[in-house]
Amino acid sequence: MTTDTPMQLGMVGLGRMGANLVRRLMRDGHRCVVYDIDQAAVRKLAGEGATGANSLNRLVDELDRPRAVWLMLPAAVVDPTLDDLVPLLDPDDVVIDGGNSFYQDDIARSKRLAEAGIHYVDCGTSGGVWGLERGYCLMIGGDDAAVARLDPIFRSIAPGSGRAEPTPSRTRNGTAAEGYLHCGPSGAGHFVKMVHNGVEYGMMGAIAEGLSIIRHADVGKRAHAADAETAPLRTPEAYQYEIDVAEVAEVWRRGSVVQSWLVDLVADALARSPGLEAFEGRVSDSGEGRWTVDAAIDEGVPAPVITSALMERFESRGLGHFTDAALSAMRSEFGGHAEKRA
């Protein structure tokens, strides 16, 4: 599978995502010039066929004009990198931010780069560590001309239409069925990717809660304290099940309504370790879920499911401690209730 229209792309940032994007592009015949502050990462990809660069300067020099430079960097590093990179570029060059930037930063950056005649394209990139093989779902924002010019790049990175059966009622053409979409002007790509991650939080929360309810279906077998601080279980006879959670996840993978990649993944994790003992249960959140809720609130759109999933992550990290202490304090005040220790 080699593209008809090979292009050149500079890639800045050769972490797991950046390196795999380069590999996927090279498989399709594109020429990649690569840079990272870690020169070992550069040498590794150079060994696989990329053109290594030991500076941003060299990376820019190696590319024909109009250039396309893809940044695959932690969000906090994008602006400093742009400060270094933009002076090296020429009018009509394109910079693509493929990381997880906040979409409102894209709006500001695209204005800044436009003053130098440089295009800025924001590209939300989903697919995680599996993207090399499955392809990456791309949600793109920016001006039409720049996005159109990069089409062969996006097409090579995306999964392609063969990755899923066609949507029966779809009559339109357009690249969405290939797994990449120009969503709108600057920021629109990261906006859609941000919401994608919010949806991901909610779906993950639903799956994880469901598995937890199944795992605790044996609660009737366990002794309950019979004191005024403990809610009685009225029907212990209804909670006598010891259900194999790993096999439940496996069975949901085929034919069920909840069939999804996330169920595939949790089934794999549970197949390795049905009790998930390796995990403390401190669930990180890296920004997109927060911003999704902020957007929902700005828009006045109720999003209780996504919001609950975000709050659940905060709770998992113990961030509600003072709230909980205040609740115990009030119970102590009005009822003389002492906390039950673990």
Q: Decide the pairing of beta strands 51-52 and 8-12.
A: unpaired
Coil vs helix vs strand at 227 = coil
Reply yes or no on whether 200 is catalytic.
yes
Q: Tokens 């941000």 identify what position?
A: 194
- The residues, any chain, with a CB within 8 Å of residue 119's CB and separated by 6 or more, are 92, 93, 94, 95, 110, 113, 142, 143, 145, 146
Give the per-residue contact string, 95-134, with a copy of itself (x = CB under 8 A; - = no). Answer: -----x-xxx--x------------------xxxxxx--x
What gap in Å lies between CA 200 and CA 261, rounded to an integer? 11
Region near a copy of itself per CB under 8 A, out of 34-42, 51-59, 82-90, 197-205: 197-205
Work out which of 7, 9, 78, 203 binds a copy of itself, going by CB under 8 A: 203
Pairwise CA distance, residues 114 & 94, whole Å: 10
Active-site residue identified among 48, 133, 178, 193: 193
> Does residue number 88 form part of the binding site for a copy of itself (CB under 8 A)?
no
Q: Min. distance of Cβ 128 from a copy of itself in angstroms?
A: 4
Which is nearer to a copy of itself, 40 or 257 (by Cβ)? 257
Contacts of 41 (CB under 8 A, 6+ apart): 14, 15, 19
44 is catalytic: no
Pairing of strands 137-141, 180-184: parallel
Candidates 45, 211, 221, 223; binder of a copy of itself (CB under 8 A) is 211
Indicate whether 152 belongs to the interface with a copy of itself (CB under 8 A): no
Phi, psi of 302 (to 5 degrees): -65, 130
One residue of 38, 61, 84, 324 binding a copy of itself per CB under 8 A: 324
Q: Looking only at Cα atoms, what is the longest distance across the chain?
A: 77
Mapping DSSP onto H, E and C, the string for 177-192 reads: HHCEEEEECCCHHHHH
Nearer Cβ to a copy of itself, position 51 or 101?
101
Total number of residues that touch a copy of itself (CB under 8 A): 178
Find out whether 207 and 258 touch, Cβ atoms under 8 Å: yes
Binding residue for a copy of itself (CB under 8 A) from 6, 49, 74, 91?
74
The CA-based dihedral angle spanning residues 229, 230, 234, 238, taken in that order and rounded to the nearest 10 degrees: 170
Encoded one letter per residue, x for contact with a copy of itself by CB under 8 A and - for no contact, window 176-195 reads xxxxxx-xxx-xx--xx--x
Q: Is 232 in the site for a copy of itself (CB under 8 A)?
A: yes
* Cα 332 from Cα 224, distance rounded (Å): 22
Report 8-47 residues binding a copy of itself (CB under 8 A): 16
Asked if residue 153 binds a copy of itself (CB under 8 A), the reply is: no
Applying the rule CB under 8 A, the residues between 235 and 274 that interact with a copy of itself are: 235, 237-244, 247-248, 250-272
CB-wise, 49 or 232, nearer to a copy of itself?
232
Which of 114, 148, 209, 221 touches a copy of itself (CB under 8 A)?
A: 209
Q: Which residue is catalytic, options 44, 200, 250, 312? A: 200
Residues marked active site are found at: 193, 200
